[in-house]
Structure formats: structure tokens, C-alpha cells
């Protein structure tokens, strides 16, 4: 079977790339290993309940932001509810409310962490965030991953005011905290570090100011997708099919080869072969090495896998609860009394389905997804009884913390209390060691040398969470849009 384009993986980035390419008139085949779309933002059902796979938020839907631009380009309108407050953070005995309004949020921060430096710090955070979105809107090379990108961005007159931001790619968030006299504010640093961990996968001593600012600003504007995070993905799939795109499920890629004519052949575990001119892969860099040994892609994939050998895994908890209790926000970050067993952070993130979202749970019930960071390798290659013991210890700790923060839920009827580890993610998604969230942002590794959409490899494009160093869903959408822009430009040049 031959197509103009093959897209590997029907997660958010793969669906975005495939639907945009199909709308542009390319014949496009989308191959997915799993039985459901969405990737790490997928879902699963237990009888009448629907659970998001990850405790994810939805953001970046304004007109100048990735999801807003994508929805506009595809002419789709997901059913979203904007949240205010956008998130609640439970820290010690404090309930910190992330208001949407900047002024209101700064007042809230000052009430918990003291007035010193708060207004100046958050005003700078929001200013950087705003400038970055504008810069990315006009510069698909941002953030730069090599010297050529740096010079390309610097050469555009429209970027003159934003050029100082390039320096902030290589300076840590600790520098900004010190600038505003906040580096000795221990409680505030705890708060910042746990916020950065869920958005940039790193802490203030290593998170770059640019991506750190984006990660700290995003909770001010979050949305709840009715029916779950997979619903916008399903609309992308509808658009893809409307424009004659072909989705083939349960097709695991086992080999990628270059053809003598300069195209790509993709081979699957079922023995099928697919050929294309443009190959777009959302497979993480660590998995690419195993399937590209007979192609020109392999040296780059191998180099990246060796340069960035580590990423975070996730420990997840799922359950349905019968209760008329509704927290102040559906998005909640809980700082725990002590470090979570077998995990690295001191907090977990919880999403709580809305009372009127009967697509996720029947009336009177809610579905809950909880996620926290864990070092992935510790869950592999251990005896099954040790694995189950560790899993139960972590689950019990998290459930006790849920009941501490939300006593209304302690004695409520619960169904389907389940937990997932990196082993679970590896099993269902095929991702190496169950890595999620992409490559952690770090000033130590820097941006120059990070994986790119296209590394000079003819007609091969890399998308997904290891292709764009940003926060969550907006980042993977951005990677897809950048790849599509380059493919369209190249196709017009060739023809």
C-alpha cells in the first residue's frame, strides 16, 4: 500500500499531523499499534465508567496557541469548559487557588508566600510566556536545536524585541528566583519545584527560564474537555477521515527501510508493508533505534537515545466514586506529607470528572485519575511479588493522602481502584521503559543538540514529546504543526 505520507502513532501529535496533511490534500495513512487512539492521552473503560489514561490538563487553546490554531485549521469545535479557578494546589495546611486573572493570582500568591518579590516574579513569568507564544507563532525553528536555527531566528527583523529570550533558554529558573529575592523562600521553592516537575519534568535548578515560565504560566488557563481528553482527538480523527485519510489500528511497526527510489517502506508485525514519500513518526527516540537499523534514520536515532538515556515514568491511580462532593476545581495538585513511596516527587496530580459529565460517569458518580513521577527502571526486571508489593505500597499511600485532603471521599462507595506503573505504560503504548512526558528540560543538556523535526534526513520527520521541548499537549501539537509546515513547503518546492 502506497501513500504520500505515513504517520506512525495516533496520539495527539500523530493525529494532528495526519489530519492537517490530509486536509492539505496529501494521501495519508495513519498506523497505530494500540486498539484505541490518543496515545498517552487516551482512555479506557470499565463498564459504565471512562477513565483518562493520564491525569492531564488541557491548555493552549487560545487563537495564537497550538490547539487553538489546530482547531481553527481543521474547523473543529471540541466541547470545552474553561475553568476558573484553573487549579487548586494543596500545600501543607494551605489551599492555594490558581485564579485565571493574573492580578487575582498574584494576590493569592502573596497571601501564602509573602509579598516580597511575588508581583515582579509573576509579571515577568507571564511576560516571558506571552512573548514565547508570539515568537513560536512566527518561527518554527524555536526553540533552536542547532546554531543554524539560532541565526535564522536572529536574522528576522520581527524578532528583534524577543531576541533576549534566546539567552533565557540557557539560564535556570533559580536565577530568576534569585533576581526577585525568592531563592531563600523555602515554601515558595517547594511550590515552584512541584509545579515545574509536572510541566517541564525538572526542578528550578535545572529548568530553563523560557520553558519554566511556560510551565508556570499555563495553569492560569485550563480547560475541561467534556467526555475526557480523548474527545478532541476523536474530532481530529473525524477530520482526517473526512479528507480521505486511512487509519489502521493494531499495526505494530517492526522495521523501517529506505527504498532504492528514495522512499520509505514500513513493515509491521502482521507482515504488511506500507510505502510512502514522507514518513512522520511520533515514536519516542528510544524506540526508533530498534526499528530503523536498516535505514538512514538509525544513526541519528541512536545518537539521541545515547545522549538522552533517561526520562520520567508515571505511577497512576484510577477509581470511580459515588459522591455529590465536587472539589473547587477538577484539576488538583496535592503536596504529600512525605515523599511518595517508590516515587520521586512530593506531590501528585488529580483530575476529577465534572458532575454533569455523564460521558465519563453516570449521574452521582465521578471518575478520578491520579498521576505522579517515578523513576522508571526500578519497576522492571524485579520479582513479581516485589513488584506487586511496591505497587500496593504506593497505591495505599496515595489513597490515604486523597482521603486526608478530601475527607468527603473516604467512606464513599468506590469502584475499580486500579494502579498503573511504567510497566503498564510500556505494555499498552510500547514506549521504552514506559517513559512519558518526553525529554526533561535542562540547562545542563541545553537545547542545542535536542532532537529536531527534521535532521537533514530526506523526507523523514520526527514529532511527539521527544521532538519539541515544551509542556504537554500544546508541545506535541506544535511539533506536528512544524513538521507539516516543512512538508508542505518542501512539496511545493519539489513540484
Distance from C-alpha of 366 to C-alpha of 320, rounded to nearest angstrom: 6
Q: Mind listing the pLDDT tens digit for each residue in 78-125? A: 999 999 999 999 999 899 999 999 999 999 999 999 999 999 999 999
How many whole angstroms separate alpha carbon 31 and alpha carbon 8? 5
Closest residue by Cα to residue 190 from 327, 334, 399: 334
What is the per-residue pLDDT for 104?
96
Rg (the chain; Cα; Å): 22
115 vs 469: CA distance, rounded Å: 32
pLDDT for 159: 59
Can you give the pLDDT at residue 455? 79
Domain residue limits, the chain: 2-40+229-309+443-494, 102-215
Predicted local distance difference test score (pLDDT) of residue 89: 96
Predicted pLDDT of residue 166: 74
| Ramachandran angles phi, psi of 254, nearest 5° | -115, -15
| Main-chain phi, psi angles of 10, to 5 degrees | -105, 40
Which own/partner contact pairs does 292-300 have at CB distance under 8 Å and 24+ positions apart?
292/256, 294/255, 294/256, 294/257, 294/258, 295/256, 295/257, 295/258, 295/264, 296/258, 296/457, 296/458, 296/460, 297/256, 297/457, 297/460, 300/455, 300/457
> What is the second-level CATH architecture of the domain 2-40+229-309+443-494?
3-Layer(bba) Sandwich (3.50)
Which H or E run includes 481? helix 472-494
Q: Write the CA distances from 129 to 26, 220, 404, 441, 466, integer angstroms.
A: 34, 11, 35, 16, 21
What's the distance, Cα to Cα, between the start and end of the chain in Å?
A: 23
Cα torsion 272, 276, 280, 282 to 10°: value is 0
| 3-class DSSP state of 456 | coil
Q: HSE (CB half, 13 Å, CA atoms) of 134?
A: 13
Residue ranges for the chain with pLDDT beneath 50: 157
State the Cα–Cα distance between residues 336 and 91, nearest whole angstrom.
8
pLDDT tens profile 129-150? 888 887 777 766 666 666 777 6
DSSP class of 41:
G
pLDDT of residue 142: 66
CA atoms within 13 A on the CB side of 419: 17
The DSSP bridge partners found for residue 265 are 257, 275
What does each C-alpha distance from 103 to 90, 123, 182, 226, 437 come to in angstroms? 21, 9, 19, 29, 30
What percentage of residues in the chain have a pLDDT greater than 70?
94
115 membership: H or E segment, kind and range? none
Amino acid at each position: 500500500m502506497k501513500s504520500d505520507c505515513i504517520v506512525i502513532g495516533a496520539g495527539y501529535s500523530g493525529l494532528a499531523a495526519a489530519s492537517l496533511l490530509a486536509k492539505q490534500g496529501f494521501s495519508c495513512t495513519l498506523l497505530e499499534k494500540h486498539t484505541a487512539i490518543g496515545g498517552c492521552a487516551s482512555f479506557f473503560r470499565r463498564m459504565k465508567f471512562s477513565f483518562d489514561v493520564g491525569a492531564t490538563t488541557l491548555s493552549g487553546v487560545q487563537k495564537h496557541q497550538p490547539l487553538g490554531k489546530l482547531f481553527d485549521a481543521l474547523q473543529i469545535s471540541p466541547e470545552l469548559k474553561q475553568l476558573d479557578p484553573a487549579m487548586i494546589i494543596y500545600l501543607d495546611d494551605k489551599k492555594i487557588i490558581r485564579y485565571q486573572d493574573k492580578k487575582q493570582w498574584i494576590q493569592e500568591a502573596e497571601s501564602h508566600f509573602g509579598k516580597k518579590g511575588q508581583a515582579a516574579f509573576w509579571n515577568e513569568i507571564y511576560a516571558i510566556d506571552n512573548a514565547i507564544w508570539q515568537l513560536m507563532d512566527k518561527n518554527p525553528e524555536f526553540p533552536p536545536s542547532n546554531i543554524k536555527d539560532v541565526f535564522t531566528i536572529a536574522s528576522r527583523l520581527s524578532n528583534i524585541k524577543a531576541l533576549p529570550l534566546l539567552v533565557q533558554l540557557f539560564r535556570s529558573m533559580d536565577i530568576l528566583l534569585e533576581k526577585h529575592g525568592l531563592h531563600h523562600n523555602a515554601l515558595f521553592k517547594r511550590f515552584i519545584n512541584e509545579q515545574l516537575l509536572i510541566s517541564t519534568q525538572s526542578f528550578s535548578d535545572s529548568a530553563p527560564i523560557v520553558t519554566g515560565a511556560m510551565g508556570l504560566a499555563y495553569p492560569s488557563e485550563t480547560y475541561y474537555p467534556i467526555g475526557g481528553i480523548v474527545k478532541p482527538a476523536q474530532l481530529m480523527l473525524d477530520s482526517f477521515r473526512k479528507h480521505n485519510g486511512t487509519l489502521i489500528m493494531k499495526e505494530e511497526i517492526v522495521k523501517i527501510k529506505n527504498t532504492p527510489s528514495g522512499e520509505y517502506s514500513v513493515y509491521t508485525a502482521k507482515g504488511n508493508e506500507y510505502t510512502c514519500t514522507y514518513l512522520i513518526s511520533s515514536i519516542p527516540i528510544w524506540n526508533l533505534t530498534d526499528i530503523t537499523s536498516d535505514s538512514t534514520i538509525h544513526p541519528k536515532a541512536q545518537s539521541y537515545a545515547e545522549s538522552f538515556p533517561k526520562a520520567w515514568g508515571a505511577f497512576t491511580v484510577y477509581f470511580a466514586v459515588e459522591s455529590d462532593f465536587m472539589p473547587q476545581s477538577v484539576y488538583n495538585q496535592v503536596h504529600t506529607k512525605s515523599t511518595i513511596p517508590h516515587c520521586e516527587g512530593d506531590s501528585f496530580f488529580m483530575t476529577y470528572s465534572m458532575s454533569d459529565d455523564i460521558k465519563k460517569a453516570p449521574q452521582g458518580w465521578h471518575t478520578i485519575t491520579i498521576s505522579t513521577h517515578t523513576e522508571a527502571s526500578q519497576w522492571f526486571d524485579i520479582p513479581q511479588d516485589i513488584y506487586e508489593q511496591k505497587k500496593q505500597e504506593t497505591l495505599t499511600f496515595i489513597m490515604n493522602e486523597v482521603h486526608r485532603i478530601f475527607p468527603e471521599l473516604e467512606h464513599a462507595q468506590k469502584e475499580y481502584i486500579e494502579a498503573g506503573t511504567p510497566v503498564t505504560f510500556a505494555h499498552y503504548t510500547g514506549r521504552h521503559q514506559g517513559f512519558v512526558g518526553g525529554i526533561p528540560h535542562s540547562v545542563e543538556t541545553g537545547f542545542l543538540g535536542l532532537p529536531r523535526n527534521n535532521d537533514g534526513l530526506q523526507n523523514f520527520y520526527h514529532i511527539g514529546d521527544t521532538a519539541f521541548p515544551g509542556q504537554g499537549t500544546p508541545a506535541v501539537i506544535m511539533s506536528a504543526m512544524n513538521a507539516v509546515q516543512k512538508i508542505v513547503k518542501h512539496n511545493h518546492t519539489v513540484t
